[in-house]
Structure 1
Amino acid sequence: MEYKRLGKTDLKVSIIGLGCEGFMNKSDDEVKVLVDKAHQEGINFIDFFSSNPQGRSAFGNAIINHRQDWIIQGHLCTTWKNGQYERTRKMDEVKSGFQDLLERLHTDYIDVGMIHYIDAQKDFDEVFGGEVIAFAKELKEKGIIRTIGISSHNPLIALQAAQTGLIDVIMFSINPCYDMLPPSENVDDLWDDKNYQKPLFQIDPARQELYQYCEKENISLTVMKAFGGGDLLDEKLSPFGVKMTPLQCLHYCLTRPGVASVMAGSHSVKELNEAIDYCYASYEQKDFAEVLSRVPKHSFIGNCVYCGHCAPCVKGISVADVNKFANLCNAQQEIPETVREHYAALEHHASDCIACGKCLSNCPFEVNIIQKMKDAVWLFGY
């Protein structure tokens, strides 16, 4: 298992995390089997958005003897009413819902206090201009939460949250389909078939800006909806009309700038194993480029998606990393010091390019890599 630092904290999280969906409507023993298997494989990170008391208690009982081994991303602003989950901004419900989470998980702290589900501008203004953010800051000051995050499906809102300087973590919906759609305050737009009927081209600029800003500012993205609710795993359901594997979906997410971990909502040991297999898979098994290059109605042509298909470079240049760092600078219209240092740390630089053209024939997206290397030399000086 590989681990990444979470934002500006000292927490190191597994790149494969757990979603909590798989714990619902299961016995304590069934949940413990899932949790123990994940722990055994090195998973130490879980997102717990659900206010379902049964699911919370089952997970709490499963980790009661090793709470310290888990980094918990627990959500503020969720409550349980009339047998179902609800999002809330009412402070009495926010506080009681969070207290219930602590009690059912048998803990006195939550590692990442996530302000739940902010997609609309009005909601963002209410949360960050009122009592919710004040409560989150109070919890952090008391050590009851270690750091603050939010969950969102809207890149414009997520970017605004990142720019407040108050948060270290953003839970965001990422996969190749969603990355092509423009921002929306309505989460249902992400899986509405009509939004995929017209051709879409390349990654939406708002999403690209969010990912690059988070990478630059050391704000970690944790991923939900990596499989598009399972639609991407079925060619009949996928908006792309082609089937991807779980490994390809995970690799797509984990190669986006700023991403620290993907929360896989495993409902069984079999599904959990499919996610864990990522850690042992070959490059060929994880490679998503060939699949996306066959997408009939949508195109990434000309856009580097950091897939690494251009490798191996005869001069040893990591083309994907060079392009990633150059794109970060272009998005910010400056060269951030951290990006300059990352580029300098590369073993080989864009100036080593001899324009042999081998990478051009390897790239399934027809990126003009030789020109990209020239642009990087102009940008970084070597």
Structure 2
Amino acid sequence: MNLRRLGSTDIFLSPLGLGTVKLGRDQGVKYPTGFTIPDDQQALKLINRARELGINLIDTAPAYGESESRLGPLLKGQRQDWVICSKVGEEFHQGQSSFNFSPEHTRFSVERSLQRLHTDCIDILLVHSNGDDQHIIQHVGILDLLADLKAEGKIRAFGMSTKTIEGGLLAAQTSDAVMVTYNLNERSERPVIDYCAAHNKGVLIKKALASGHICHTNDNAATVNSTPEHRDALAVDPIAASMEFVLSTPGVSSAIVGTINPKHLALNVEKALAVLTPA
């Protein structure tokens, strides 16, 4: 996969990134089927397979349970091969999520992530929004603090994983990148992507496959907002239809896809390559 530049930064990403929620958390998730958190051997096999397939972006967060703590040792000896994206703001403890956007907690969280990930710099750091995007940006000032951390060399790029159009646009104006939900079923945040494309800001896509639901074509929720053409494509090949829709959108830097199955990962890359290098 040809790498894509993250906005105006010096960071280059594979069009597909590996999400690691399932490496650290199996509670309070919204996947269509249950799963067992893989052991270290299985997790390392997945990470190595991702690298072999040309993926260089790995996405984690304190809110992903033990994900960061596990990735540190698992990436030993191959840190230079990966662009690590982590987050601040959301915590997950004893099965419950909580949010803290204060400057004190943000600095603590970043230092903790650096220790957990066994690195001296996080490539991309995003604010993990609770949905109140505008308040967090305008009244808490967390993006200003992340700019300071970037100047200190603790992070290379920063932005926000937003949940609203207004928040996404605000974040894009004052940071390097945004992460938005975008798939065949949820397209409301497209204006944020368009703004980023016009202003050379990075765009990371979450839930590109609707957390796996879009692959279950019998589930009406996965197809209700699709066009007739996309519904036909979904019926034939939901992964291919989703990859074409997301990765062909101008401005998209990379789409994060979470899986713990190496075969599913290879299939995702195969479908992405068909879009990125059409016959």
Deviation at 1:108, TM superposition (A): 0.9
Q: How has the CA–CA distance of structure 1 residues 35 and 84 changed in structure 2, closer, same or farther, with 3 Å as cutoff?
A: farther
Tell me, yes or no, if the aligned pair for 1:28 and 1:61 is still in contact at 8 Å.
no
Q: How does 1:176-215 map to 2 (within 5 A)?
A: 176-179=184-187, 181=188, 207-215=189-197
Q: How has the CA–CA distance of structure 1 residues 279 and 176 changed in structure 2, closer, same or farther, with 3 Å as cutoff?
A: closer
RMSD: 2.4
2:139 to 129, 133, 142: 129
Other-structure match for 1:345 = none
Q: Does 1:229 align with 2:218?
A: no
Q: How has the CA–CA distance of structure 1 residues 42 and 48 changed in structure 2, closer, same or farther, with 3 Å as cutoff?
A: same
2:63 to 21, 30, 51: 51
Tell me, yes or no, if the aligned pair for 1:117 and 1:150 is still in contact at 8 Å.
yes
Other-structure match for 2:265 = 272
Q: Does 1:139 align with 2:149?
A: yes
Q: Does 1:102 align with 2:114?
A: yes
Tell me, yes or no, if the aligned pair for 1:118 and 1:124 is still in contact at 8 Å.
no
TM (normalized to structure 2)?
A: 0.83
Other-structure match for 2:158 = 148
Deviation at 1:54, TM superposition (A): 2.6
Secondary structure class of the residue paired with 1:149: strand
Q: How has the CA–CA distance of structure 1 residues 136 and 26 changed in structure 2, closer, same or farther, with 3 Å as cutoff?
A: same
TM (normalized to structure 1)?
A: 0.62
Letter in 1 for 2:143: I
Other-structure match for 2:5 = 5
Other-structure match for 1:368 = none
Other-structure match for 1:86 = 98
- Give distance in 2, aligned partners of 1:230 and 1:212: 25
Letter in 1 for 2:14: S
Which structure has the higher relative contact order (CA within 8 Å, separation 6+)? 2
1:218 to 200, 208, 227: 200
- Give distance in 1, aligned partners of 2:276 and 2:159: 32
- Give distance in 2, aligned partners of 1:282 and 1:83: 38
Q: How does 1:6-21 map to 2 (within 5 A)?
A: 6-21=6-21
2:169 to 144, 159, 163: 159
Q: How has the CA–CA distance of structure 1 residues 208 and 272 changed in structure 2, closer, same or farther, with 3 Å as cutoff?
A: closer
Aligned length: 256
Deviation at 1:87, TM superposition (A): 2.9
Q: How does 1:366-381 map to 2 (within 5 A)?
A: none
- Give distance in 1, aligned partners of 2:151 and 2:95: 33
Q: Does 1:253 align with 2:246?
A: yes
What is the percent sequence identity of the aligned residues? 26
Letter in 2 for 1:93: H
Deviation at 1:43, TM superposition (A): 0.7
Secondary structure class of the residue paired with 2:220: coil
- Give distance in 2, aligned partners of 1:177 and 1:13: 25
Tell me, yes or no, if the aligned pair for 1:118 and 1:150 is still in contact at 8 Å.
no
Deviation at 1:49, TM superposition (A): 2.5
For structure 2, list consecutive stretches of 5 or more residues without a partner in the other structure: 25-36, 225-230
Secondary structure class of the residue paired with 2:254: strand
Tell me, yes or no, if the aligned pair for 1:214 and 1:257 is still in contact at 8 Å.
no
- Give distance in 2, aligned partners of 1:60 and 1:283: 31
- Give distance in 2, aligned partners of 1:112 and 1:128: 21
Q: Does 1:173 align with 2:181?
A: yes
For structure 1, list consecutive stretches of 5 or more residues without a partner in the other structure: 182-206, 287-382
Letter in 2 for 1:161: A
State the Cα deviation string for residues 307-339 of structure 1 (Å, max 9, x = none).
xxxxxxxxxxxxxxxxxxxxxxxxxxxxxxxxx
Query: Which structure has more strand as a fraction of its residues?
Result: 2
- Give distance in 1, aligned partners of 2:70 and 2:197: 35
Tell me, yes or no, if the aligned pair for 1:109 and 1:143 is still in contact at 8 Å.
yes
Tell me, yes or no, if the aligned pair for 1:21 and 1:267 is still in contact at 8 Å.
no
Mark the structure with the bigger radius of gyration: 1
